[in-house]
Amino acid sequence: MKVVAAQFNDDGSVNQPTDWRKWIFVGSPLTPNALNGGTAPFPEFHNVYVEPSAFASYEKTGEWPEGTQIAKELALVYENNNDDVGASTEVSGRGYQQGEFQGLELTVKDSKRFSDMPGGWAYFSFGHKAEPYEKTATAFPAAACNACHEVSAADDFVFTQFYPVLRAAKGN
Ligand code: HEC
């Protein structure tokens, strides 16, 4: 099964993917400031998308194929008279809704290109900020990203324990 690969440049940087919001949406963990002493490292919703051809392969084999791309886009909590825990009260009730986009990260599994990275996964950020995001990004050192993913993520560096869509799809 052919997996759509990320585009790399001669200097080793990866290009920002173009259509990540049209990939398969698998989940949206939230770690708001109000529950993290006022300063969560990532106070936004974490919207996670899997590139569709990699998703199809995962569905079939239950494993992440070479070339897998997973994007994580951050979205700030919606601001509307937010109360003491940062929640807003909307017609649907009191809680947390999504406001503006605030950053984009990507992980790519390529154990040839990143043979020195644990699991063959490389991790990138196109900026923890509002759009426009950076056009290219270079891989973080393994200690910055792979280490936590290796120890704490449920399935091959991916936090499937937070993504029911992936648990349902795995190896069907
Ligand atoms: C302390 C642990 C920790 C570290 C360090 C870490 N992450 Fe994660 N990462 C998580 C958790 C937990 C999730 C699950 C979703 C969420 O809460 O955002 C996640 C999810 C992701 C995802 C979505 C795919 C997946 O594996 O679930 C990407 C992409 C990602 N992180 C990128 C990065 C990048 C880039 C770095 C390094 C700059 C990094 N992470 C460092 C804990 C970590």
Reported pTM: 0.97
Nearest CA among 115, 117, 133, 116 for reference residue 125: 133
Distance 91 CA to ligand 1 centre (A): 32
- Cβ of 29 less than 6 Å from ligand 1: yes
Q: Give the residue extent of every domain in the chain.
A: 14-169
**What's the fold here for domain 14-169?**
Chalcone isomerase (3.50.70)
Q: What is the pLDDT of residue 168?
A: 97
Distance of alpha carbon 96 from alpha carbon 88, whole angstroms: 6
Q: What is the pLDDT of residue 2?
A: 92
Distance 30 CA to ligand 1 centre (A): 12
- Cβ of 123 less than 6 Å from ligand 1: yes
Q: What is the pLDDT of residue 55?
A: 98
Model confidence pLDDT, tens digit, residues 33-82: 989 999 999 999 999 999 999 999 999 999 999 999 999 999 999 999 99
- Cβ of 57 less than 6 Å from ligand 1: no
Nearest CA among 81, 80, 122, 86 for reference residue 105: 122
Q: What is the pLDDT of residue 167?
A: 98
Q: What is the pLDDT of residue 171?
A: 83
**Residues in the chain, pLDDT under 50:** none
- Cβ of 113 less than 6 Å from ligand 1: no
Position in ligand 1 atom list of the atom nearest CA 107: 29
Q: What is the pLDDT of residue 1?
A: 76
Q: What is the pLDDT of residue 78?
A: 96
Residue type, 152: S
